[in-house]
Chains A and B, each alone.
Chain A
């Protein structure tokens, strides 16, 4: 039997189902690994060992009572981690911010509840850029997370803790959130699979809002089959989220392994220009070759409004954030800096509680929504958003899937972009249009450049994740790129 940290979530579940290993043993195995290795990686803000073991013991008992282990289903017994902006009842949920350092939610996010109901074991909460604002995990108010492929580089962000933990084999999979690339970009930089589902496919209830019209929770996994299995647990309509699509539940794994001969692949020329570094482009071109070998028809296509997408995103997302983050006022929970008068209390609390990037975006967003500027900035950005969305609609009339790089670069050295916000924002140039359009996209590993992973982004039609996963799975199986692991994993 392979070592647990080298196995996929589905393999671990199968092993548990076959009684080769107990849920408790699996949980203890990963907790031990986190304890030993996370000191240098710093991917977790907090682990919950007592809870995890208690839950695992209870699940083992349930398993013993089952007539057939298969009844337990999909990912029964598998440990997981969640980004620290997803609410967990009784466990602090900080958004990697001072202002929420003491906040303990009295409820579980819908995705967490569904995980528990499916018999999965929560190991802990992962690090992130404060309030999911950033692309490197360096904006965490607590500490930086490092990339397991090279500890001097960033893991990407904002779901950097989730990506690093999965890539380092500290947990079989994790959940992140993606507002402008925050699942896909760290997945790309850490050499794992990351999916941003269609807006509305996964409930946002319990995800601490950054930009409500863009946020989606998505899985970070070792391979595509795991990604589909996680979607089977978390996706589906939720009455608690009015923007979750009222669609019947589906089997995201159903089309895995199908032939992709004849599918039409569009390669947006805007994604393959000078914006992406040559090493990244070269890996993506190799991947296109693999797809052609599989019988796909690959053609260049256009998403003409791509160049405006980033600007529109940096108006819409901060505008919504300025409103979403206004509730952190020190009145009811979280940090409070006392003052003689209430407005002074607000000011002191927020000055001390928020980091510089969060403040920058609150100011940007407040400005964009202010009377006199609303039309020129926010409203204009909404119009651009409509055009970006239309680009995708038109492209999908001709192509089944659009393919390009997830991130313009591989993992960059820690500290190399923190002095220049715009340079940092450019990390999201290929991922942001997807959020504006609300369509699903997956990042799968497509090779190494300078010893660091490159991510291939595949974009699909709304609510056709099953098709997207089928294509990604076919590529992954043919290319073998998901088997690449950092030394941290192979060394054990």
Chain B
């Protein structure tokens, strides 16, 4: 095995994704689901699991789950049921989670990842509904905390669990699967999918096997994955670790492993023998969930345009390159923003592409730098379009536009106001420019001489000097013309 290389092994990856549904109220009681409220202010006897309470299924959660399942090409089961998953933990007030077990809401879906020839389908084994648990807060670190407190606000928030087939063959593909999944769920309007707020959570199952082998190796389950980046890092580490174990003549153990974000390693959490026996059994407090076909079809009709369709439409309607269309449609809010810009600015003369350049370039850079979503920014399509019109009309240069872009996004001030207040408007008064040109010619006799003796590029230097002298506000076209005239 000494000479074995990583290419002799291939990873097999399957992901379990939990997504919080965007319902206003919890799955089994009317408590609100708003994120970030004061601890234990969004609770009632039902979600606190007090003695004697009973769950009542929120139909809104069922509708969103069905919508998600349809968007992921799943078959909706006409009849599904809830089970109790029993285990003790302080964040679980009933000591069981109401979930679905052998009769999930939906099965047999898929999504596509990759482009061109490497386009590939990843299967979705099942999608089911369940309730979220509360959150533990420790005083200090979990090992040394003298006290731990529980916040039950999240307890009972509706979740869907989406289990993929083991069709994913690299950490990068896992990330792409998650990006596509997130994009579809956001489009379908079922979840915000904010990983940092925990509304999208990922566990990964991974094993390795000799390349080309049909049998699966022993898998480990990776928990505590906090970002798309750590999906890749964690899986890379775990694949490397498993290969090393096998190369050393050892055996991969079936176990749950914890991804340590700081140290960038995975640590064994519990082995197969210590695995919980959840003692699943049918939840007697709820009746089986029957969904008739007509109702499912009525939900399907409500399904909005999904990312793939929107991307194709961006290419055909706006004449955008496939790359632009892909970037712009990755999140529904960005795509929406783009379309509203084009709506205001118009479609003629390559305008959709101009808008695309600005949205993909400056706007995305600004959002990433500030780590916010488009709906959290103060910039609106009117801002962007007004900016483009100022450029088009010659009032400002593209350079100035870039310079004021961030301020416009941060403050929400209209670009025309910023330009006026700061005196950034382009100088298009010929006499004003002529005066500067005259001075530049006078101060640079050598360069003028070069130009006159046929060195055409010397003109560029002179234009630069004029621009510099006007703080970049001179209209470059006008400067060029006046210079040529004066230099005869």
Binding site for B on A (CB under 8 A): 85-87, 93, 95, 100, 103, 105-107, 109, 204-209, 211-213, 239-243, 319-320, 322-323, 326-327, 329, 331-333, 342-343, 346, 366, 369-371, 374, 378
Contact = CB atoms under 8 A, between A and B. Distances in A.
Nearest to B49: A327
A212 B57 CA distance: 17
B65 to A, nearest CB: 17
B96 A323 contact: yes
Given A323-B84, A323-B281, A326-B86, A208 B51 contact: yes
A191 to B, nearest CB: 30
Interface stretch (B282-290, B380-388, B410-418, B467-475): B282-290
B382 to A, nearest CB: 47
Given A106-B45, A107-B45, A327 B281 contact: no
A333 B57 contact: no
A205 B86 CA distance: 21
B478 interface: no
A343 B54 contact: no
Given A323-B86, A371-B277, A213 B284 contact: yes
Contact of A103 (B51, B53, B84): B51
A346 to B, nearest CB: 6
A105 B50 contact: yes
Interface in B276-314: 277, 279-281, 284-287
Interface range for B = 20 to 34
Contacts of A322: 86, 279
Interface string B44-63: 01001111111111000000
A209 B399 CA distance: 71
Interface stretch (B87-95, B187-195, B258-266): B87-95
A45 to B, nearest CB: 15
A86 B53 CA distance: 11
A326 B54 contact: no
Contact of A333 (B50, B54, B86, B95): B50
Contact of A100 (B49, B51, B279, B284): B51
Contacts of A239: 56
Interface centre among B48, B88, B148, B286 (most CB of A within 10 A): B88
Contacts, number: 99
B150 A105 contact: no
A327 B54 CA distance: 13
B96 A207 contact: no
B285 A240 contact: no
27 contacts: A85-B52, A86-B52, A87-B52, A93-B51, A107-B50, A109-B52, A205-B54, A207-B52, A209-B285, A212-B284, A241-B54, A242-B54, A242-B285, A242-B286, A243-B284, A243-B287, A320-B281, A322-B86, A323-B86, A323-B281, A326-B94, A326-B96, A332-B49, A343-B88, A346-B88, A369-B86, A370-B277
Interface in B200-235: none
Given A369-B281, A371-B277, A326 B88 contact: yes
B94 A327 contact: yes
A93 B279 CA distance: 29
Given A208-B52, A213-B284, A243-B287, A331 B277 contact: no
- Main secondary structure, interface of A, reads loop
Given A100-B51, A212-B284, A332-B150, 4 more contacts: A243-B284, A323-B84, A326-B86, A331-B93
A242 B95 contact: no
Interface string B99-110: 000000000000
B52 A105 contact: yes
A346 B88 CA distance: 9
Given A95-B51, A106-B45, A204-B54, A212 B279 contact: no
Nearest to A369: B279
A342 B95 CA distance: 14
A87 B286 CA distance: 20
A343 B148 CA distance: 14
Nearest to A244: B54
A205 B52 contact: yes
Interface string B419-442: 000000000000000000000000
B52 A206 contact: yes
A29 B30 CA distance: 42
Contacts of A327: 49, 51, 93-95
Contact of B281 (A105, A319, A332, A342): A319
A332 B93 contact: yes
A343 B87 CA distance: 12
A330 to B, nearest CB: 10
B55 A242 contact: yes
B435 to A, nearest CB: 81
A366 B50 contact: no
Contact of A209 (B52, B93, B95, B279): B52
Nearest to A94: B51
Contacts of A106: 45, 50
B235 to A, nearest CB: 29
A282 B54 CA distance: 43
Contacts of B49: 327, 332
B90 A331 contact: yes
A241 B46 CA distance: 11
A310 to B, nearest CB: 20
A141 B7 CA distance: 67
B86 A329 contact: no
Contacts of A93: 51-52
Contacts of A85: 52
A241 B286 CA distance: 8
A93 B88 CA distance: 23
A205 B54 CA distance: 6
Contacts of B95: 323, 326-327, 329
Contacts of B150: 331-332
Contacts of B277: 370-371
A100 B95 CA distance: 16
B51 A87 contact: yes
A320 B94 contact: no
Interface centre among B52, B93, B96, B285 (most CB of A within 10 A): B52
